[in-house]
Amino acid sequence: MTRALITGNAAAAWGARLARADYVPAFPITPQTEIIETLAGWMDAGEFDCRLTLLESEHSMLTAAGAAAASGVRVFTATSSQGLLYAMEMIYAAPGLRAPFVLVNVSRGIQTPVTLEPDHNDVLAARDSGFLQLHCATCQEVLDSTLIAYRLGEDHRVRLPAIVNMDGFYLSFTREPVEIPEPAQASRFLPAFDPETTRFRAGSPVSQAVVVLGGSPYSYFRYEQHLAALRALEVYEEVAAEFAQQFGRHYAALETYRSDDAEFVFCMIGSFATKARDAVDRLRESGQRVGLVRPRLLRPFPAGHLRRAMAGKKGVAVIDQNISLGKGGVLHAELASALYGQRDAPPVLASFIGGLGGRDIGAEEFYEMIAVTRAAHEQGQTPEPRLLYTADELREMRKLQAIAHAERTERKP
Amino acid sequence: MSDATVTVYKRMKDLPSTHLLGAGTAMCAGCGGLQALHEVYDVLGENTIVVNAAGCMTLLSVYPFTPFRGSWLYTSMASAPAGAQGVRDALDIQLSKGRIQPEQDLQVVVLTGDGAANGMGLSATSAAIERGLDFIYLCYDNEGYGNTGQQSSAATPHGARTSTSTGPRGFAGYKKDLFAIWAAHRPAYVATVIGSEPLDLARKIEHAKSLKGPRLIIALSPCPTGWDFDPAQTVEIGRLAVKTGLWPLKEYEDGRVTHTKLPHPRLPVEEYLKLQGRFDHLFSPSRNEALLAEIQARVDAYWADIETTGA
């Protein structure tokens, strides 16, 4: 085991290397590019026995990834934002092949307008695809989750591809101390790829991804994928336990932080949850019983874990770093569907949208969210969803708009 | 065709008499694409994986049936060549790591219609050729989006009626020269074929099979439903496409284009056009002499040099 100061992107590359991926179909996009450059560098230096093929688009990249996985090799790939959206047809098509592989998504906001900075609308567009989703909060978690994702997806009871998600910039370009397992140790945890019966070779013909006629066979195969994804929940527990035994780092499907005796909890995914952790500590110092609940596994959705973690709480502040335009926060809606009508469900489920396009969520905002949730509990009513935006930001925005207006009018003859 | 290939297909009677591709598929009666596919598959054999894009032939493999003795992978409309890349790479990786034996290797064959080949799949094809992908691409060209009811595609010929060009002048555009576009990438091999010329087709597929790298084949595929003719006339219409010079049989290799059949004497294009409902408006209620002359002139111009030089 080596300890190194590496970025989230490098951690993802290490995950692929330690997983002994055979094949990396790739296409560059900011902020993911460092992952494929790192892998390419190792291959060129002869340190990593793997084949890299640069495709001409993410759509083709995902097609090649699914086709190669269905042909019997261990596949790793990575993308981000518009790339994930461009590949979306194949993101939805790949899980039905029941050929597992791992895709690292480096979350970045999607257009319009264009941004390079993170939020989760990209990866949530893949929410209903059949890909398993593991969401990371640290660079160490990125490396470890990549290994876990292979074990999970390749398990006989699952056989589905998985997305490991990290936030662009906040993790992708941030160096953190990361323990890099020894290859032998990684091999013990993740054995050689077993394609089972999913492969193409002369003498044993297979037809894959064929047409079905009628809703009955279609429903059957779709239900099978769904049930396999649900089974991944219990398989995850086994895999995470084994990972903890071998590496000493335990990754629960649902991370809880000081939430056992909390009256109010934050619920959110991704690296911004580390900011919430800080806020929890400060609020605790001021005598407030506050905690944090972070789903690490978003697909399958750990509904039972969430019910247990939320039982008896007075209120939950759900922070969505995404926005379903015309509806609101995606995680909020998911959580509500898990909690509604359950005994001991928190009476208040407050929705906050923040951190879009890399916008920071400040400590004061975390305190305010708890204050709003507490007040809502006292009034006995869940408040209207809030879009986080400060008066200072609005002032700065007005200045930009004034400049834009001046530029536009000056150009007029 | 290079002299290096010693063809086993010298005469019609040398062609396989039994077909590898099973019968009873969902293709239309008289499908010229299926005719070509039969002939191609007989030469390629079952140690193949057909990587398909959305189109008529997607309906060949409908759960739980397939007419193929080899493997099949459906991808999407735009990315069949990328699927072929993934399969080829995976096979190569397993061969090099000793996980499969050479006799377990497969010929990777992309199968798409003209809509995918000329339109949304062109980028993936261009990239596959540029990467030197070792694969065969078979495009069945029925000159429109046949599976959805013959809307115009980039391969639709000038003047043809389609379900999106029903006016008196038919399709306003001109058939895209996919052969030239593919050949401009300098792949290992490009050829045009047609099911009604089985000997020419078999020799070309046999030759393609003997090569490595990108090998791309366009099969003009007379389409009874889309072109509006009696299914019994598929072969005749195919022959006329060649005899009128509208469908030149040719191949590209090593930077040179060779015509494998010189139609002599060339029949007037209307011999071909008048058998198809999609060109009815050129003949009735009155003959559209201008448009007929334009179509003839384009064919004449194509052959002018070739007939003089014999190239």
| d(CA A33, nearest CA chain B) in Å | 20
SS3 call for B237: helix
Residue B224 inside a domain? The answer is yes
CATH 1.20.120.1200 for domain A254-392: no
Does position A1 have pLDDT exceeding 80, yes or no?
Answer: no
**In this model, does residue B3 exceed pLDDT 90?**
no
Choose among A124, A136, A78: nearest CA to A102.
A78
Domain A2-197+208-247 has CATH 1.10.150.120: no
Examine the predicted complex and report whether its ipTM is higher than 0.85: yes
Q: Do the chains contact at B84 and A25, CB–CB below 8 Å? A: no
pLDDT level of residue A412 (50, 70, 90 thresholds): low
Query: So where are chain A's domains?
Result: 2-197+208-247, 254-392
> Is the Cα dihedral A94, A226, A147, A173 positive or negative?
positive
Give B203-232 pLDDT, tens digit per residue.
999 999 999 999 999 999 999 999 999 999
- Whether residue B3 lies inside any domain: the answer is no
- Average pLDDT of chain A to the nearest whole number: 97
pLDDT tens track for B146-172: 999 999 999 999 999 999 999 999 999
Give the pLDDT confidence score for residue B7 in this predicted structure: 81
Please state, in angstroms and rounded to a whole number, the distance separating the CA atoms of residues A317 and B169.
65
Using the predicted structure, report yes or no on whether residue B2 has a pLDDT greater than 90. Answer: no
Q: In chain A, which residues have their Cβ closer than 8 Å to the Cβ of B68?
A: 205, 207
pLDDT on residue B311: 55
Q: Cα distance from A239 to chain B (closest Cα, Å)?
A: 27
Q: Which of A48, A55, A98 to mutate to test the interface with B (most CBs of B within 10 A)?
A: A55
Chain A residues in contact with chain B using a Cβ-Cβ cutoff of 8 Å: 22-23, 25, 49, 51, 53, 55-57, 59-61, 63-73, 89-90, 93, 200-203, 205-213, 217
Tell me which chain B residues have a C-beta less than 8 angstroms from the C-beta of A22. 90, 93, 97
| A208/B85 Cβ within 8 A | no
Reply yes or no on whether the pLDDT at B5 is more than 90.
Answer: no
For an interface test with B, which of A61, A62, A71 has the most B Cβ atoms less than 10 Å from its Cβ?
A: A71
Those residues with Cβ within 8 angstroms of residue A18's Cβ, 6 or more apart along the chain or in another chain: A143, A146, A147, A180, A181, A183, A186, A190
* Chain A positions in Cβ-Cβ contact with residue B25 (cut-off 8 Å): none
Range of the domain at B155: 12-309
In a domain, B5, yes or no: no
Give the pLDDT score at B309: 72
pLDDT recorded at residue A413: 60
Say yes or no to pLDDT of B261 above 90: yes
Assigned domain for B83 exists? yes
pLDDT in tens, B111-151: 999 999 999 999 999 999 999 999 999 999 999 999 999 99
Q: Is the CA virtual torsion A216, A219, A225, A229 positive or negative?
A: negative
Indicate whether B78 belongs to any domain.
yes
Q: Nearest C-alpha of chain B: how many angstroms from A1? A: 27
Q: Tokens for B246?
A: 């509208």
The residues near B98 (Cβ < 8 Å, ≥ 6 apart) are none
The tens digit of pLDDT for each residue in A171-211 reads 999 999 999 999 999 999 999 999 999 999 999 999 999 99
pTM of the predicted model, to two decimals? 0.97
Average pLDDT rounded to a whole number, residues A286-304:
98
B4 is a domain residue: no
pLDDT at A224: 98
The CATH number for B149's domain is 3.40.50.970
Summarize pLDDT for B41-88 with one digit per residue, the tens.
Answer: 999 999 999 999 999 999 999 999 999 999 999 999 999 999 999 999
Residue of A nearest to B64 (CA): A212
CB–CB contact B76 A200 (8 Å): no
Is 60 exceeded by the pLDDT of residue A403? Answer: yes
State the average pLDDT over residues A130-154: 98
Residues of B in contact with A90 (CB under 8 A): 75-76, 79
Bond preceding residue B64 cis, omega within 30 of 0: yes
Q: Do the domain assignments include residue B7?
A: no
Domain count, chain B: 1
